[in-house]
Amino acid sequence: MVPFPVLMTNATSSTSSQKGPETVLILDFGSQYAQLIARRVREAGAFSLLMAPDTPIEELASHNLAGIILSGGPSSVSEEGSPRCDTRLFELGVPVLGICYGMQLGCHMLGGTIEGAHAREYGRATLSIADDSGLLRGIPTETSVWMSHGDQVDAIGDDFNVLATTSTCPMAAVAHRTIPFYGVQFHPEVTHTPHGVELLRNFLYEICGLQGTWRMLDFMNEQCTLIRQQVGDRKVLCGLSGGVDSSVVAALLHKAIGDQLVCVFVDNGLLRKNEREFVETTFRDHFEIDLRVVDARKDFLSDLDGVTDPQEKRKKIGHRFIECFKKSAEEITGHTDKAITFLAQGTLYPDVIESGHGYSGAAANIKLHHNVGGLPEELGFDLIEPLRDLFKDEVRKLGEVLGLPDGLIWRHPFPGPGLAVRCLGEITEEKLVVLRDCDEVLLEEIVSANLYRSTDQVFAVLLPIQSVGVMGDGRTYESVVAIRAVETQDFMTADWAKIPYEVLGSISNRIINEVRGVNRVVYDISSKPPATIEWE
Give the active site residues.
100, 187, 189
Neighbours of 454 (CB within 10 A): 12
Q: Which of these, 150, 166, 175, 2, lies nearest to 82 by C-alpha position? A: 150
CA angle in degrees (0–180, nearest 5) for 300-302-305? 110
Q: Which of these, 179, 197, 192, 164, lies nearest to 4 by C-alpha position? A: 179
Q: Pairing mode, if any, of strands 291-295 and 261-267?
A: parallel
Contact 480, 520 (CB under 8 A): yes
C-alpha separations of 253 from 226, 243, 250 in Å: 11, 16, 5
Neighbours of 531 (CB within 10 A): 15
Query: Which residues does 247 contact at the CB level (< 8 Å), separation at least 6?
Result: 240, 283, 346, 399, 404, 408
Contact 243, 418 (CB under 8 A): no
For residue 190, the SS3 value is coil
β-pair partners for 115: 152
Return d(Cα 23, Cα 86) in angstroms, integer: 19
Query: Which residues does 289 contact at the CB level (< 8 Å), separation at least 6?
Result: 250, 254, 261, 263, 283
Residue 68 burial (C-beta neighbours within 10 Å; 0-12, 13-18, 19+): buried
DSSP 36: H
β-pair partners for 50: 26
Q: In which region does residue 22 sit, left (phi positive, over 0), alpha (psi from -120 to 50) or beta (all else)?
A: beta
Contact 28, 184 (CB under 8 A): no
Return d(Cα 437, Cα 454) in angstroms, integer: 23
Return d(Cα 230, Cα 436) in angstroms, integer: 40
Contact 383, 352 (CB under 8 A): no
